[in-house]
Amino acid sequence: MDHYFWFALKSVPLVGNVTFCRLLHHFQSPEEVFQATPEELATVRGISPAAAAQIRSHDYREAAQRECAALHRTGGRIVDFLSEEYPKILLEIPDFPPFLYVRGELRSAECSIAVVGSRRASFSGQSITERLSHDLARRGITVVSGMARGIDSAAHRGALKGGGRTIAVLGSGVDILYPPESRKLREEVAAQGAVISEFPLGTAPLAENFPRRNRIISGLSRGVLVVEAVEKSGSLITARYALEQGREVFAVPGNISYPGSRGPNRLIKEGAALVEDVEDIIVNLPHHAAPRETESSVAPSFALSPQEASIYTLVANAPLQMDEITVKCGLTAGEVSAMLLRLELKGAVTRLPGNYFMIS
C-alpha cells in the first residue's frame, strides 16, 4: 500500500502530470493533498476551483485499492519521481510522469539512445538496427525503444546481443502482452534492463496511448535514432518530441524509392545527423560517450524531496541564478539556499561562477 495515495491522486479528474507535481511540491505528500481545505488548494499555481472541487469530492478508494491489488498480483512495482531510482533525465521534460510501473531495473543516471522506426521494417532495416544497437550496447550506452514489431524489437534484440542494457517503454500496462509474440523478448529485456509504462495496469494498447508513450522514449534518451519510417509516423512524432526536449536527432538514410526511407531522409534534410555507423552517434555525445561502466564509474543516484525535485526540474533546462530559482519556485531565499546545498552534496547540481546552478 506504499503508493495508495499516489494512485488515488492520479485517478482524480483534472489532475494531470504537471498538476500532480505542483500539488506534491506544495503539500509534500499525496495524502496531504486530500486533507487540504479548498482555500489551501487554491494557493497552488494552476489549481482552478473546478480542480479543487474534484480533489475534494472524488471518491478515489476503489481505483486506488484496485491498483494496489493488481500491482501485488502481477508482481510489478512503482518507481516515483522522488525515488533515487527514477531516471533524472526524465525530470527535464515538462510533463514527466509522477511515477512509473516497472519490471526490471531502472537507473538514476545512464547514457541512453532511443532507437525507433517502422513496424513494417524491411529485412535490411532490421539488420542495420540490430547492428547499431549492438554497437551502442558494447559502448555502454542503454538502448531505449517501444517493444513494437519491426525496428523496435530489432533494437532491443541488438542491445541484448551486445550484452548491454535496454529499456522498453510500453503504450499499455506493463501486465499487457503486446504484441502477443513478444513474451520471450520482454522477459529478456526485463532481466537485462527494464520494461516500463506510465499507464495503469490493465490498460489496453490503444492508439491514443502511443504518442504519449513516445515522449517518454525520447525523454529518457540523449538522442533519438530513426532507422525506417514513413512520413507522419509515430517515429517522427518521437523525433519531434526529441527536438522539443533538447535532444539530438539521428537518422539512417535510405533508398529514395522505398517508402520507409522518406521519414529518415526528411529528417536529414531538416538537420538530423546522418548515421552510417555507431561513431556517427558517439561523436555527437562527447560528454556521454564513455566505455562500458564499471562499478567504480557508475554515476551516483539520489532521492529527492518534492521541493528538491521542483528545483532540480528548474535547473535541468538551463543554468539559473539562485535569485531566479527563488522567484520561480516560490520559496524563501533561505529555503532555496539550504536545498541547493543538499542537492550539491547529493551530486545532483553543480554551482557555477556567478551563483548559477546547473544539473551535474
Task: Give me the amino acid identity at 31.
Answer: E
CATH among 2.40.40.20, 2.30.30.220, 1.10.357.10, 1.10.10.10 for 306-359: 1.10.10.10
Instruction: Give the pLDDT mean for 4-11.
Output: 97
With 50 as the cut, is the pLDDT of residue 333 above it? yes
With 80 as the cut, is the pLDDT of residue 330 above it? no
CA atoms of 303 and 83, how far apart (whole Å)? 5
Instruction: Give the pLDDT mean for 274-301.
Output: 68
Instruction: Give the pLDDT mean for 95-122.
Output: 95
pLDDT value, residue 334: 86
With 50 as the cut, is the pLDDT of residue 294 above it? no
Instruction: Give the pLDDT mean for 268-278.
Output: 96
104: helix, strand or coil: strand
pLDDT value, residue 1: 54
Instruction: Give the pLDDT mean for 292-303.
Output: 54
With 70 as the cut, is the pLDDT of residue 296 above it? no
pLDDT value, residue 295: 38
Domains of the chain, residue spans? 1-73, 103-282, 306-359
What confidence category does residue 287 fall into, taking pLDDT thresholds of 50, 70 and 90?
Answer: low
With 70 as the cut, is the pLDDT of residue 292 above it? no
**For every residue of 23-65, which 3-state class applies, written as one string?**
HHHHHCCHHHHHHCCHHHHHCCCCCCHHHHHHHHHCCCHHHHH
User: CATH class for domain 1-73?
Assistant: mainly alpha
CB 301 within 8 A of CB 85: yes
Instruction: Give the pLDDT mean for 177-190.
Output: 96
> Is the torsion defined by CA of 295, 89, 136, 185 positive or negative?
positive
CATH of region 103-282 = 3.40.50.450
- In tens, the pLDDT along 219-251 reads 999 999 999 999 889 999 999 999 999 999 999
> Is the torsion defined by CA of 52, 54, 59, 61 positive or negative?
negative
Mean pLDDT of the residues in the chain: 91
Please state the separation of Cα 192 from the chain's center in Å.
18
- In tens, the pLDDT along 70-108 reads 999 988 899 999 999 999 999 999 899 999 999 999 998
**Would you state the cell numbers that stand for residue 64, as one nine-digit string?**
486506488
Instruction: Give the pLDDT mean for 107-118.
Output: 94
**β-pairing verdict for 166-169 and 194-197:** parallel
Percent of the chain with pLDDT over 70: 96
> Is the torsion defined by CA of 201, 203, 204, 207 positive or negative?
negative
What confidence category does residue 300 fall into, taking pLDDT thresholds of 50, 70 and 90?
Answer: low
